[in-house]
Amino acid sequence: MKTIKNIKPIICLVLGAVMFLNLGCERDISDDAVEALFPNTAEVYTDAPVGLTDEFFISFNPADGANPNGFGTDDDVAFLGSSSIRIDVPSPNDPDGGFIGGIFRDRGAGRNLTEYDALTFWARGSTTATIGLVGFGTDFIQDRFAVGLENIELSTDWRQYTIPIPDASKLVQEQGMFIFSAGTDSTNGFGYTFWMDEIRFETTGTIGQPRPAIFNGQDVTQQTFIGANATVSGLVETFNLESGQDATVNVASAYYTFSSSNPNVATVDEAGVATVVGAGTTVITATLNGIEAAGSLTLESLGEFTPAPTPTRAQENVTSLFSDAYNNVPVDFFNGFFAPFQTTLGQDDISINGDNIISYTELNFVGIGTFIDVPTLDITNRTHLHVDINVQEAIDPGDFIRLQIINNVGGNEISGDFTITGDQLLSNEWSGFDVPLADFTGLNSRDNVGLLFFISDATISNIYVDNVYYYTEVIEPTPNVDDSAATQIELPIGFEASLDYGIFGFEGADSAVEANPMPSGINPTNTVIRTTKTEGAQFFAGTVLNLDAPIDFSTSQRFRMKVLSPKTGIPIRVRLENADNSVGIELDANTTTMNQWEELEWDFSSMNTSANFVRVVVFFEFIVNLPGDGSVYYYDDIQILN
């Protein structure tokens, strides 16, 4: 038998030579002759690996949680012969990885598998369990002709498993001989062992009734725009096996031939990516090995797309969930499906001329989550939520979209709501919303945010969403202002004695305050104050100025001072407080230059300025996670405009 295996490649070469001699006068070298250059070795593993790479088993990436240590061979257990492959599936909390999986790759340039109709193997388990994936065509290079059979059930006895080949004519040079992935979902987290043997490609002649499908056989309709891409998904094919049972495999797009009924509306490439090029309607369909696939994609192009306005806020003042303008934080999901109550369907991968947006259809409620596999959000220092919404339908009286933020999901939950009414929304146009977090009623803690909900209760069912982010409102400085109408605060003689050095007990705050410390030549006046953030301090440096007499900000609502900062783009927060701190208002302004004096202004006119304020608190570097270096800030010429 071993001799016959070795002769097969030689026979193929001889046959190829005969074909060349017989047909050479009529045509060029055929594709068949080229294909015959690659061996048609069927065996992958019998009593030993056959023609595989030196590594034999190539694991999935351990950085993704794959455990590379549970793979080996077993000379005491075999279906046929003397050896089998042994897989020890780890528990989810194994420090080396919570699942096991990888591929077997051909040692050479690949194999010609065009004569076979299936990959078969034998397996048994130490317990009844489910292996998540087996298949072939994955080589960790191109994975062009990957095929996968999901969730095969093991028995404690040996059983044979069959993975049909969708179109063997494609496999003229295949390196991906086998793939598997296994975890403990079916065993409630308990590890187990399974064995595999006699892995080979075969011509069974018993596989019939091929039924390919796209979108899992469903007819899907999407509204879209010129410049958008839509990818055909749900690529599967069902076969009837010798046992009489059906087997459905996931199939790579390269097996399919895709077509568009109206190429003037959208074209579709060999990977199943449809590109919208015009207005109108087209239907994307597919065939596999000459058989029409069930399912379709109808694209209704509405023409040119107007994107949401591009945000301009500085990245350091933003915590972004979804926006092309910023570095987004990790997100678990953009459509957390809360069965059985949620109807919302969602896509977060719609790209129109490079602009990515979220589409929600059949909306009743939907959540964006950051609390399962990614860190929750501490937005204590953020002041607003921004979101752009485009309603893709007529808006009726009584329609609304309610935004809800939930802190400490699954624990002692705290939530707050804000309702956007129908008259604030536009049909087929973008509406931008900047909602103060203080307006989310009941949300008095924002240090552990895990969910942002969009709720319509089905009053509005079809929306686009973009630029979802939290931010800190920063008042930009007004340079070269006219000080003629200003009244300068009269600081008391020896005012350094009235400066409070502690900033109300915030952990990590560490600062020192001095008067008249300015080096000569930078500022000649004698009223300069210096605040130093001590090296290693976690949060901020700051100073409290106690005023000689209360100031009524109902008429004097703009605060100015000159600042010299060692850094650009640093938010400086000014807080005004009354005597018992029962009223306090605050605003931020960013520095724009480094080591130069600039005049900043804080305009409190839109805020509660009815109180008499007796205390000014100035915060430097108050944003968490700024580098904990020692930084020195100077400020002077503190003024209040009448």
Q: What is the pLDDT of residues 401-452, one digit of tens each?
A: 999 999 988 888 889 999 999 999 998 899 999 998 888 988 888 899 999 9
Q: Which residue has the higher pLDDT, 581 or 514?
A: 581
CB 387 within 8 A of CB 467: yes
Residue 195's pLDDT band (cuts 50, 70, 90)? very high
Residue 508's pLDDT band (cuts 50, 70, 90)? very low
Q: Is 72 exposed, middle or buried (0-12, 13-18, 19+ CB in 10 A)?
A: exposed
CB 547 within 8 A of CB 615: yes
Give strand pairing partners of 545.
499, 616
| Lookup result for tokens 């087997």 | 247
What pLDDT sits at residue 485?
45
- pLDDT for residue 518 is more than 90: no
In sequence order, which residues have a C-beta less than 8 Å from that of residue 370 and are 6 or more positions away? 321, 329, 330, 331, 332, 376, 377, 449, 450, 451
Q: Give the pLDDT confidence of 117-165 residue by residue, as tens digits.
A: 999 999 999 999 999 999 999 999 999 999 999 999 999 999 999 999 9
What pLDDT sits at residue 546?
74
By DSSP bridging, strand 219-224 and strand 296-301 are: parallel
What pLDDT sits at residue 481?
42
Q: Could you say which DSSP state residue 310 is in?
A: P
| Amino acid at the residue 295 | G
Q: Which residue has the higher pLDDT, 553 or 255?
A: 255
Least confident of 204-218, 423-437, 619-633: 619-633
What pLDDT sits at residue 519?
47
What pLDDT sits at residue 43?
96
Q: Which residue has the higher pLDDT, 637 or 432?
A: 432
Question: Within 10 A of 369 (CB to CB), how many other CB atoms are there?
Answer: 21
Q: Is 423 exposed, middle or buried (0-12, 13-18, 19+ CB in 10 A)?
A: exposed
- pLDDT for residue 6 is more than 70: no
Q: Give the pLDDT confidence of 84-96 residue by residue, as tens digits.
A: 999 999 999 999 9
3-state DSSP of 19-31: HHHHHCCCCCCCH
CB 163 within 8 A of CB 93: no
Rounded CA separation 308/365 (Å): 22
- In 435-474, which positions are buried (b, 16+ CB within 10 angstroms) versus exposed (e)? bebeebeebeebebbbbbbbbbeebbbbbbbbbbbbbbeb
Q: Which residue has the higher pLDDT, 20 or 193?
A: 193
Q: Closest by alpha carbon to 589, among 477, 501, 468?
A: 477
| Lookup result for tokens 């892995």 | 199
- In 1-17, which positions are buried (b, 16+ CB within 10 angstroms) versus exposed (e)? eeeeeeeebeebeeebe
Rounded CA separation 84/123 (Å): 9
Q: What is the pTM of this model?
A: 0.62
Q: What is the percent of the chain with per-residue pLDDT over 70, rounded to a whole number?
A: 79
| Lookup result for tokens 């200003």 | 486
Rounded CA separation 409/448 (Å): 8
What pLDDT sits at residue 479?
47
Least confident of 87-91, 207-211, 341-345: 341-345
Give strand pairing partners of 61.
none
Q: Which residue has the higher pLDDT, 510 or 49?
A: 49
3-state DSSP of 33-79: HHHCCCCCCCEEECCCECCECCCCCEECCHHHCECCCCEEEECCCCC
Question: What does pLDDT average to over the chain?
Answer: 81
> What's the CA angle centered on 142, arms 137 and 144, to 5 degrees?
50
Q: Give the pLDDT confidence of 107-128 residue by residue, as tens digits.
A: 889 999 999 999 999 999 999 9
Residue 489's pLDDT band (cuts 50, 70, 90)? very low
501: which 2 tokens? 């050095």
Rounded CA separation 42/60 (Å): 24
| CA distance between the termini of the chain | 102
Rounded CA separation 106/124 (Å): 25
CB 451 within 8 A of CB 509: no
Q: What is the largest CA-CA distance in the chain?
A: 112
What pLDDT sits at residue 241?
94
